[in-house]
Amino acid sequence: MRQRWREARLRVGLDTLWIGLPPAFAIAALGWRWGDVPAARVAVLAAVAVLAAIAIWRMRRIDGRWLQLRLDTLAPGMEDSAALLFAEPAGLSPLQRLQRARLWQRVAAAPDLRPAWSRRAIATACALAALCAATALLWPVGGQAPTSTRDAGREAPSAQLPQLVAQRLHVAPPGYTGLPEREVDTLDAKAPQGSRLRWRLRFEPQPAAAALVFHDGDRIELRREDEDWVGGHLLERSTLYRVVATGTQARDRSRPQAPLHRLDAIPDRPPQVRALAPETGLTMMTPGQRTWQVAFEASDDHGVDAEARLHVTVARGSGEQIRFEESVRILRGSGERARRRFQAGIDVAALALDWGEDLVVQLEVRDNRQPRPQSVRSGSLILRRPPQPVPDVRGLEGLARQVLPAYFRSQRQIIIDAEALLKRKPAMTPERFLDRSDALGVDQRLLRLRYGQFLGEESEGGAPPPPTHDAAQSPAALLPIDDYGQQAPPTADGGAGDDHDDPHDGDHDGDHDAPAGAGHAGHDHADPAPDDGVFGRDADVLAEFGHTHDLPEAATLLDPKTREILRGALREMWQSELELRQGQPQQALPYAYRALELIKQVQQADRIYLAKLGSQLPPIDESRRLGGDRDGIARRALPAAPGRSEDEVPARVWRQLGDPSRATPDDEALEALDAWVRANGERQRDPLALVAAIDALRNDPLCGTCREALAGELWRAMARPPATVPRRDAADDGGGRYLDALGAPSP
- Beta-bridge partners for 343: 295
Question: What integer pLDDT is reported at residue 173 of this predicted model?
Answer: 93
**Residue 581 to residue 645: CA distance in whole angstroms:** 62
Under 8 Å between Cβ of 647 and 719: yes
**The predicted structure's pLDDT at residue 586:** 93
The per-residue pLDDT for 180 is: 93
Going from the C-alpha of 606 to that of each of 191, 452, 601, 633, the distances in angstroms are: 62, 19, 10, 34
Question: How high is the pLDDT of residue 108?
Answer: 59
* pLDDT at position 589 over 80: yes
Name the packing angle between helices 411-423 and 430-452 (round to 10°): 170
Higher pLDDT, 136 or 448: 448
Residue type, 622: E
Could you write out the DSSP letters of every residue in 547-577?
---S-TTTTTSB-HHHHHHHHHHHHHHHHHH
- Count helices and strands (H / E) in the chain: 17, 20
In angstroms, the CA 215 to CA 259 distance is 11
Range with the poorest average pLDDT among 218-222, 262-266, 675-679: 675-679
Whether 160-266 shares its CATH topology with 273-384 is answered yes
Per-residue pLDDT tens over the stretch 382-433: 999 998 876 655 554 444 444 334 445 688 999 999 999 999 999 899 899 9
The helix (H) or strand (E) run that includes residue 375 is: strand 375-377
Q: What is the pTM of this model?
A: 0.45
Q: What is the DSSP letter of 304?
A: B
Q: What are the domain boundaries of the chain?
A: 2-75+110-138, 160-266, 273-384, 409-469+534-610, 645-717
pLDDT at 503 over 60: no
Do the beta carbons of residue 278 and residue 301 sit within 8 Å? no
Question: What pLDDT score was predicted for residue 110?
Answer: 57
- 159: helix, coil or strand? helix
pLDDT-derived band at 12, boundaries 50, 70, 90: confident
Q: How far apart are CA 306 and CA 271, in angstroms?
A: 13
CA 384 to chain centre: 36
Query: Which residues, in sequence order, are CB contacts of 607 under 8 Å at separation 6+?
Result: 557, 558
pLDDT computed for residue 573 by the predictor: 93
What pLDDT is stored for residue 68 in this prediction? 63
Q: CA 608, 609, 614 angle in degrees (round to 5)?
A: 130
What would the pLDDT profile of 448-485 be if each residue is shown by its tens digit?
Answer: 888 888 776 644 544 444 444 444 444 443 333 334 34
CATH class belonging to 273-384: mainly beta
Query: CA end-to-end span of the chain, whole Å?
Result: 108
Say what the pLDDT of residue 418 is. Answer: 92
pLDDT in the model for residue 35: 59
Q: What is the pLDDT of residue 501?
A: 39
Alpha-carbon gap, residue 516 to 556, rounded angstroms: 8
Minimum mean pLDDT range among 67-71, 598-602, 663-667: 67-71
Specify the CATH number of the domain 160-266. 2.60.40
Which class for 599: exposed (0-12), middle (13-18), buried (19 or more C-beta within 10 A)?
Answer: buried
Percent of the chain with pLDDT over 70: 65
The average pLDDT across 265-271 equals 93
Residues 6+ apart with CB under 8 A from 178: 302, 303, 337
